[in-house]
Amino acid sequence: MKIRELRLHRGWLDRGWAAIQTSTLTLTVRKKLLGSFLVMIVLLGVLGWISMSRIASMQQENEKITSSWLFSIETINRINLLAEQMLALQATMIMEPNEDNKKQFMPEAGKLFTAIEGNMEQYATKIRTEEEQAYFDALSKAWRNYKDYYSDAFVLSTRVNFVEGSGTYAGQITKMLTSSQGAYQTMQNQINLLVQLNHDGAMASTEESKRLYQNALRDTIITLLIAVAAAIGLSMVISNHFANPVRQVSLALQRIAEGDLTLNNLQVSNRDEIGQLVNSLNKMSLNLRTLLLQIQGASIHVAASSEQLLASSEKNAKAAEHVTQSVQIVAAGSENQMQSATETSMAMEEMTMGALRIAQSTAEVSELAIETSRQAEAGNSTMQAFVGIMNNISDSVRRSGEEMHRLEGHSHEIGSITKLIGDIAKQTVMLALNAAIESARAGEHGRGFAVVSQEVRKLAEQSNVAVKQITDIINKIQNDTQHAAGTMRQGLHAVEQGITAIENVSSSFSIIVQSTENVTDKIQDAASAAQQMAASSQHVSASILVMSSIARTSSSSAKTVAATTDGQLVSVNEITASAYSLSHVAQDLSDLVGSFKVTAE
């Protein structure tokens, strides 16, 4: 009954094995590993692209601040400084009593004209909005008016000696000074508007840079967390998917090697090469149980036949009349024994072929495990390359920080220039006070000189106020620059944290490589166990051949006794010896089969 059930299960396994062999595998071990690595590479590529694009945007904003807004502020401040120098030169030229000295002022004035117009041309190339263009047009118009008044001042200075008094030109001088002061004040107003406009633009660019950095930091952290979670999830899924079935196969082969064939069929969800290995193991286990049960039945039958043969020989020794009947019994038993031995030999050959197929499948799985290890090492190499990319990103952020440091240095230089302007304004105030004192001493002749000195003093005080405003603006720019530099350092720290996380992912790949190597060792142990099983099957087959030979000898002896009644006694002795030999062989075969456990107790 048990043999029939085992044969029925074996038929089911044969049909299942044939269906697996003829079907096309949808997902092999290689495809699963390649798919996992591809997912990681895509996530890492997205992380690198986001970081690079955000850094490029921040770099554009920094370049915009450096090449546009700060350049415009520096240019307009130079124009303001040159205009103040023009005003101071105008006052000096008017108050100079020596005609020869007055002629020397024109070349210097020409240089200042050229410098102011050159700076205005440079500023015109950086105009960005219609509002800025309108302010610049108003500044250009005021500058042209001021140049005209400056020319009038030079003409009057050649006609009037302020030491001797203005005489009939007093009205023209007063009008000229008033108009010149108005034009200069218009220039100052437009310059202040342009400075404020550029300051607002620089502040807007700074805020945009902050926003881009915050977005970049947020996107980088989110993508990095997703990549780490995916890496951990994939490593857990892959390790469970391959390690559990291989562990079951290893334990099953160990029990079979120890002679325990009572294990149940292994159940796994794998539909790849590992699933084929498990099905082959289930089929081999069933074939071994069936074969050993057949051998056990045959050994019992042989033992019974040998006992009958021995009893018959003893009876033949006592009674010759029972010789023919005993010989027939012996002949029948020998034929059954020979038939059983033939069937057993065929079953052993099938078991040997199954063991060889298991060894071959195990070798193929071992090769796949080795290929898995190589693919994992390739993934580890890819992670190392991405660490290099993240280092490049870190260098870019560090260079951006150095650019911000240089911007801070430029702002300090602008502050130094502004301080120089303030010192000049203070000196101008002192000169105006001295001029007022001298005019008071001159009395009526120095009245015009007093008016001029008063105007100069007012201009100097206004310049001092403007210098303070510019200093406040520059201090704000310096603070913003320092804040931006701190933000860049935070970005560098975030990138370094990203590098650390990627190195942790690389360590996970190394663990996968080590686990794959352990799986390869287990599979090779399974192959060795299958080869030992094949050797044991060949040994059993050899024993069955010996038993078959003995059965043939017994059959020949029985036929000889039946044909030759004269040598009955000799034949009976031969049959007795053969019965003893057959009994020993049956006992040996029974002991060999008894070493295997085929049913649960």
Q: What is the DSSP annotation of 374-422? A: HHHHHHHHHHHHHHHHHHHHHHHHHHHHHHHHHHHHHHHHHHHHHHHHH
The pLDDT value given to residue 20: 42
Where b means 16+ CB within 10 Å and e means fewer, 571-601 reads bbebbbebbeebbebbeebbebbeebbbeee
The pLDDT of residue 166 is above 60: no
The values of phi and psi at residue 260, to 5°, are -95, 110
Share of the chain above pLDDT 70, in %: 46
Mean pLDDT of 411-431: 70
d(CA 299, CA 481) in angstroms, rounded, equals 98
Q: What pLDDT shows up at residue 566?
A: 54
In the predicted structure, residue 442 carries a pLDDT above the cut 50: yes
pLDDT digits (tens, 9 = 90+) for 530-560: 567 666 666 656 665 665 676 566 566 656 6
What's the confidence (pLDDT) of residue 314? 67
CB-count burial class (<10 Å; 0-12, 13-18, 19+) for 210: middle
Half-sphere exposure of 84 (CA within 13 A, CB side): 28
The helix-helix angle for 130-159 and 99-124 (nearest 10°) equals 170
Is residue 445 a contact partner of residue 165, using CB atoms and an 8 Å limit? Answer: yes
Which domains does the chain show, CATH number per domain?
A: 282-595 (1.10.287.950)
**pLDDT tens per residue, range 330-377:** 556 656 666 765 766 676 676 667 666 766 766 676 676 677 667 767
* pLDDT computed for residue 221 by the predictor: 86
Residue 392 burial (CB count, 10 A) = 11
Pairs from 5-14 (Cβ < 8 Å, separation ≥ 24): 6/286, 6/289, 6/290, 6/293, 7/290, 9/286, 10/283, 10/286, 10/287, 10/290, 13/279, 13/282, 13/283, 13/286, 14/283
pLDDT tier at 277 (50, 70, 90 boundaries)?
confident
In 3D space, the residue among 185, 516, 542 whose CA is nearest the CA of residue 380 turns out to be 516
pLDDT value at 310 more than 80: no
In this prediction, residue 186 has a pLDDT band, given cuts at 50, 70 and 90, of confident
Average pLDDT, rounded, for the chain: 69
The mean pLDDT of 295-310, rounded to a whole number, is 70
Question: 601 vs 405, which has greater pLDDT?
Answer: 405
CA dihedral 249, 252, 258, 259 (to 10 degrees): -130
Sign of CA dihedral 224, 225, 228, 231: negative
pLDDT at 216: 76
Across residues 229-238, what is the average pLDDT?
Answer: 79
Q: What is the mean pLDDT of residues 487-493?
A: 68
Q: Give the model's pLDDT for residue 533.
A: 62
Residue with tokens 């309108």: 134
Please say whether the dihedral angle defined by the alpha carbons of residues 335, 337, 342 and 347, taken in this order, is positive or negative.
positive
pLDDT of residue 12: 45
Tell me the H-state helices in 96-129: 99-124
Q: What is the pLDDT of residue 139?
A: 83
Mean of pLDDT values over 456-479: 71
Residue 1's pLDDT is what? 47
Count the helices and strands in the chain (H runs, E runs): 10, 0
CA gap 183, 82 in Å, rounded: 15
The residue written with tokens 């303030």 in the block is 422
Q: Name the pLDDT band for 21 (thresholds 50, 70, 90).
A: very low
**Of the ranges 55-59, 134-138, 240-244, 548-552, which one carries the lowest mean pLDDT score?**
548-552
How much is the pLDDT for 154? 64
Contact yes or no for 160/169 (Cβ under 8 A) = yes
Per mean pLDDT, which of 191-205, 335-349, 447-461 is the most reliable? 191-205
- pLDDT above 50: residue 24: no
